[in-house]
Amino acid sequence: MNKKVCIVGLGYIGLPTAAVLADKGFLVHGVDVNEEAINLINNGEVHIYEPDLEKVVKKVVTAGKLSADIDPIKADVYILAVPTPFKEDHKPDLAYVESATKSIIPYIEPGNLIILESTSPIGTTDKIVELILNERTDLSIDEKSSSQIFVSHCPERVLPGKILKELIENDRIVGGINKMSTQKTAEFYESFVDGKVLQTNAKTAELSKLTENSYRDVNIAFANELSMICDDLDIDVWELIKLANHHPRVNILQPGPGVGGHCIAVDPWFIVDAAPEKSKLIHTARNVNDSKPIFVINKVKEAADKFKSATIACLGLSFKANIDDLRESPAIEIVKELSKESNYNILIAEPHISELPSSLNKLNVSLVSTEEAIKQANLIVLLVDHDYFKLIDNLDLQDKIVVDTRGITNNGTNKVASLT
């Protein structure tokens, strides 16, 4: 297979996609603005942690199937995998999609396939077409034209921590700007995906991705709301959920310190922005999940008040278990807020990182081993359910107060609870 693929954005989605495609026989050219990442990749190394990723990158770079640069090249298929954050007012920020599109415009030729994988607000795929055709009057999207280009949205749906597996196994939704674009894109994904490739139009594909993440956000909000209700009523929320989930049609998710990452805490806002009057539930769920870190902070302060001098061990910084990804992590928000109290001695344990992120390294907090943090602290705040923390011996927690936001200590009650 000699098809050339150019992937713009070599982050958590773009790099694994590049590696998988190269491993499947495509000739892949990756593009990123981060020169340090480019140098690492060209050396067969990676700038992000994802299980097995470095192994595959090393293999395909050595085989000459993957290379990286700051500029795109001519290719048969272009994939845009750049971030789509929101601005201060929760409105979508399409600056990266626009600059990624502009970067490929000079290289596009008739017959090329352009795929937007970034999670995007409704209408973004059409905007990409507009940007391209404004600058390149020699190209067309007319299905009868010989200068036709094909443009589609195929949202990424992989779970951090399982990206390489899910890139191959998950079903994909493909929505083109017209029938031929949809078909061409479906053929492309069918050549390396084992899951089903489902065809629709661009707008529906855009909303389907936003819907999936909003569905999860609403369900996590339900669990988080229950945890706050249970705290008021002095009921163990973990036991409650376990019991309720014995019903054949009930499947409540797990409460936590809040919702983090760059997807679930962001994407529902794109629906709210598109239909503010009609998205009341989705909007409320966002507010419930965003309020959970404040609830946890208050619980920790309440517990710290019991000590003359509180040494607080914050266990976990990443936005979820068993990864090193700190983006939009509620744990960081909680640590930052606690560090404002000058009378707390704050120790952080995060087995997946070797140094504190820049947002924390000037604060009055220190990164230590899990064992050291537990030994020194009189108050333990469990923020992430890493497998590593599940090995903590409850005997080591004796005589300490534990605020367990993930319910992993034996009697995790999601509220100030002494385990003695």
Position among 95, 159, 250, 275 found at the interface with ligand SAJ (CB under 6 A): 159
What is the C-alpha separation between 61 and 151, in angstroms, rounded?
Answer: 28
Position among 29, 153, 157, 386 found at the interface with ligand SAJ (CB under 6 A): 157
261 lines the binding site for ligand SAJ (CB under 6 A)? yes
Whether 87 sits among the annotated catalytic residues: the reply is no
160 lines the binding site for ligand SAJ (CB under 6 A)? yes
Three-class SS state of 99: helix
Q: Which long-range contacts (CB under 8 A, 24 or more apart) does 89-92 make?
A: 90/269, 90/272, 90/273, 91/269, 91/273, 92/120, 92/121, 92/269, 92/270, 92/273
172 lines the binding site for ligand SAJ (CB under 6 A)? no
Count of beta carbons in the 10 Å neighbourhood of residue 45 = 13
65 lines the binding site for ligand SAJ (CB under 6 A)? no
Single out the segment in contact with ligand SAJ by CB under 6 A; choices: 93-101, 139-147, 258-266, 333-341: 258-266
Q: Show the CA angle centred on residue 327, arms to residues 381 and 320, nearest 5°.
A: 50
Single out the segment in contact with ligand SAJ by CB under 6 A; choices: 210-218, 294-302, 306-314, 393-401: 210-218
Single out the segment in contact with ligand SAJ by CB under 6 A; choices: 39-47, 156-164, 171-179, 396-404: 156-164
Position among 204, 254, 345, 411 found at the interface with ligand SAJ (CB under 6 A): 254
216 lines the binding site for ligand SAJ (CB under 6 A)? yes
Beta-bridge partners for 349: 315
Shortest Å, Cβ 204 to ligand SAJ: 17
| CB nearer to ligand SAJ: pick between 212 and 273 | 212
Per-residue mark of binding to ligand SAJ, 97-136 (x: CB under 6 A): ----------------------x-----------------
E strand residue ranges, 97-243: 113-116, 150-153, 172-176, 197-201
Residue with tokens 């773009």: 14
| CB nearer to ligand SAJ: pick between 159 and 244 | 159
**Chain length of the chain:** 420
Three-class SS state of 68: strand
Shortest Å, Cβ 210 to ligand SAJ: 9
Q: Which long-range contacts (CB under 8 A, 24 or more apart) does 294-301 make?
A: 295/228, 295/231, 296/257, 296/258, 296/330, 296/334, 296/381, 296/383, 296/403, 296/405, 297/334, 297/337, 297/338, 299/231, 299/403, 299/415, 299/416, 300/334, 300/338, 300/379, 300/381, 300/403, 301/338, 301/341
Shortest Å, Cβ 7 to ligand SAJ: 16
Single out the segment in contact with ligand SAJ by CB under 6 A; choices: 37-45, 212-220, 337-345, 355-363: 212-220
Q: 253: closest CA among 286, 212, 217, 287?
A: 217
Whether 154 sits among the annotated catalytic residues: the reply is no
Per-residue mark of binding to ligand SAJ, 23-52 (x: CB under 6 A): ------------------------------
* Token reading at 395: 């005997």
Whether 189 contacts 171, CB under 8 Å: no
| CB nearer to ligand SAJ: pick between 72 and 261 | 261
Catalytic, out of 65, 263, 314, 415: 263
Spatial CB neighbours of 142, under 8 Å, sequence gap ≥ 6: 148
What is the C-alpha separation between 383 and 381, in angstroms, rounded?
Answer: 6
Shortest Å, Cβ 279 to ligand SAJ: 17
C-alpha dihedral (283, 289, 291, 297), degrees to nearest 10:
-170
What is the C-alpha separation between 99 and 109, in angstroms, rounded?
Answer: 19
Position among 253, 353, 363, 417 found at the interface with ligand SAJ (CB under 6 A): 253
259 lines the binding site for ligand SAJ (CB under 6 A)? yes
Three-class SS state of 276: coil
| CB nearer to ligand SAJ: pick between 263 and 296 | 263
| CB nearer to ligand SAJ: pick between 310 and 334 | 334
Shortest Å, Cβ 160 to ligand SAJ: 5
Shortest Å, Cβ 215 to ligand SAJ: 6
* Token reading at 311: 């040494």
The catalytic residue positions are: 209, 263
Residues that bind ligand SAJ (CB under 6 A): 119, 156-160, 212-213, 216, 220, 253-254, 256, 259-261, 263-264, 319-320
